[in-house]
Amino acid sequence: MIGRMIDHRYRVRSRIARGGMATVYLATDVRLERRVAIKIMHGHLADDQAFRERFIQEARSAARLSHPNLVGVYDQGAEDDTAYIVMEYIPGITLRDLLQEHHALTAEQATDILRAVLAGLASAHRAGIVHRDLKPENVLLADDGRIKLGDFGLARATTANTATGAALLGTIAYLSPELVTRGAADSRSDIYALGIMLYEMLTGEQPYKGEQPMQIAYQHANDTVPAPSAAVAGVPPELDDLVAWATARNPDDRPRDAREMLDHMAGNQQRATGQYRTAVLRPENATAILPAGGTSPTSADSGDATTILEPAGQQSSRQQPAGRGSRNAPGPRRTGAQPGALSPAGQRLADKSAKRRKRGWIVLVVVLVLMAIGGSIGWALGPGPWGNVRIPEVAGKSVSQARQLIEAQGLHTASSTASRFDAVIAKGQVSATKPAAKHEVRKGTSVQIVVSNGPKMIALPAIVGQPISTVTAALDDDFELQDDQYQFSADAAKDTVIAATGLGTDGKSVDLTTVKTYGERGPVTLTVSLGPVPDVVGKTVDEAKATYDGVGLTIGAQDGQFSDDVPEGQIISADPQDDPVVKGTAIDLVVSKGPAPITLPDVHGKTINEATSTLEALGLKVSVPDCTNILCGFYDWKSSLPVSATDPAAGSTVHRGDTVTLAYKQ
């Protein structure tokens, strides 16, 4: 597969991994100029309808999901009866690779990976999809720190009937008890597999071992997963509890789905990792500023609160009827000051309260101003003129359409366009943009449109009459070689090229032997000679059939024909039904029936010479016994004596070359 162009779009570069159903390759999407991972089903499974349906189900299941912790699916299709899936390429390693390198992970590493896998799996469970094949090989750790869950090859909708033998296709080390005993799977089966993975991350080994898969399956169904701390000292008890909860043999005792388990971890203070959440509480002891005439706070309210009191005269006027005084009215004691004046302590408290009120207003104004500035900046950097936008995908569109799409995003298009050769995009259409599509840039950025000049024209080497191996080597780097065609030719040696065709810009076939150049990556179909059609003239039909079977030809109609030259049963001629002659063409045969039969005419009464002429004209030989009469020596007796009989007799069937004896009276 390496080097092949799939669906005229994906060029396979190298192999990444190989599994039981498919092989994953690194490929380049030549249309969007990005690297992708393409998963191609094994060829020997192409005729198995069940495998094809499972393979297509993987694409459909994964395509329904969109989450940062799930591998994205871009495309799905089939070519030459081989199904493929195009996925997001994640450069990095798998969790299995990490465990093989480090054996066991720390509690912090294990919980970080588990949290990411749970987040992606929760998205799948929310969509009604059960993964059913969770294992370290399907957890991808990207070079940039991203953690993604992939390979939904065994995924099923939770409402589907999964109580079949196919349910046991998951890796045996991670199968839940209900999958082993009943063959039924739901979201809790995925939770069980995650519990086994967490145990393996913490301890470096799987909880159950055995020489045979059935031994491991039996332990899943009948044993309880031990605590990780029993195998590795220092594992926090919170993670022991999490493993025990996730791997409970009874599905009802486990989290019902990934979201519940993830919420449980979020609600925990993460004692296992030493990280604690900080709760910001409202202060219990606040400063209360009471309005004038307000009632005195109760003991429950005034523990540490500060109460600002107004002048005693004002308080008393609010607290008692006019004309009545009270020595016990609340407020600072009078010290001989003028009516309405505060005591020194009260005045200091009032001044401090006024400063606090003033400072509060200043803080409020500053906060409002900062909020306005922040909102303006956010608007400018978002929907406003300074915001970032993605350059739209305009490949394959006309220049005017591309300008409209680009300018609709708040971008500018450069006045001049660039050009480049493009083996995929037709000449005159947009090939790309600078910066490239999907790049995030500031609004107002100038974007240059790159127009396709069509494929680059490349000089063609000598083709006709050359060995196929030589021509293939010369064309393979620059063109897309299609499947070779083969035909018989009396003028060309076997395995030499007799014709080459391609596609013109108008989509019509082009004879490449009549042109000097051809577009880069253009399709090329070579016609290869099978040598001349074998000559079977003079052979029997059985011999001809054996000869034709050896070169892929068949026998068509068979006609018989009389022949004086070809013995009966041998082939007189062989003519193909089609031109050109290719494998599978039928050859019509003409088979000899031997010489044509002749009915011997009656020459009785004719002279010997006349009878001889008549019979020889029919291709017969004539025998005349010598005349023994002495008188025959004195005249031309053959022109005078009449024929009295013939051997064979008149009316008999004879053939050319047979001898007829004439009888006469002497």
Please tell me the distance from the alpha carbon of residue 293 to that of residue 545, in angstroms, as a whole number: 124
What percentage of the chain reaches a pLDDT higher than 70? 82
**What CATH fold (topology level) applies to the domain 5-88?**
Phosphorylase Kinase; domain 1 (3.30.200)
pLDDT grade, residue 386 (50/70/90)? Answer: low
Query: For residue 419, is pLDDT > 70?
Result: yes
* pLDDT tens sequence across 625-663: 988 887 787 888 888 889 999 999 999 988 888 899 999
**What CATH fold (topology level) applies to the domain 104-267?**
Transferase(Phosphotransferase); domain 1 (1.10.510)
**How would you write 267-318 as a 3-class SS string?**
HCCCCCCCCCCCCCCCCCCCCCCCCCCCCCCCCCCCCCCCCCCCCHHHHHHH
Intervals of CATH 3.30.10.20 along the chain: 388-452, 457-529, 541-592, 599-664
The neighbouring-strand residues paired with 559 are 590
The predicted model gives 148-154 an average pLDDT of: 75
- Is 363 within 8 Å of 398 (Cβ atoms)? no
Intervals of CATH 1.10.510.10 along the chain: 104-267
Pick the CATH number of 541-592 from 3.40.50.10540, 3.40.50.970, 3.30.10.20, 3.40.50.2000: 3.30.10.20
Query: For residue 45, is pLDDT > 80?
Result: no
CATH class label, 457-529: alpha beta
- Is 148 within 8 Å of 140 (Cβ atoms)? yes
* pLDDT tens sequence across 477-503: 888 899 999 999 999 999 999 999 998
Q: Which residue has the higher pLDDT, 41 or 169?
A: 41
Plot region of 463 (φ>0 → left; ψ -120 to 50 → alpha; else → beta): alpha
Confidence at residue 552, expressed as pLDDT on a 0 to 100 scale: 93
Of residues 138, 137, 154, 131, the one with CA closest to residue 21 = 154
Please tell me the distance from the alpha carbon of residue 595 to that of residue 564, in angstroms, as a whole number: 4
CATH class label, 388-452: alpha beta
- Give the end-to-end CA distance of the chain in Å, rounded to a whole number: 96
Q: Tell me the range of 253-257, 315-319, 384-388 where mean pLDDT is highest.
A: 253-257
* pLDDT tens sequence across 223-269: 999 999 999 999 999 999 999 999 999 999 999 999 999 999 887 64
- Annotation marks residue 133 as catalytic: yes
Query: What CATH number labels 599-664?
Result: 3.30.10.20
Q: Which residue has the higher pLDDT, 14 or 377?
A: 14
pLDDT grade, residue 426 (50/70/90)? Answer: confident
Sorted by sequence, the CB contacts under 8 Å of residue 350 that are 6+ apart come out as 308, 342
Q: Tell me the range of 253-257, 280-284, 594-598 where mean pLDDT is highest.
A: 253-257
Residue of 47, 133, 144, 602 marked catalytic: 133
What percentage of the chain reaches a pLDDT higher than 90? 43
Sorted by sequence, the CB contacts under 8 Å of residue 216 that are 6+ apart come out as 172, 173, 208, 209, 210
Intervals of CATH 3.30.200.20 along the chain: 5-88
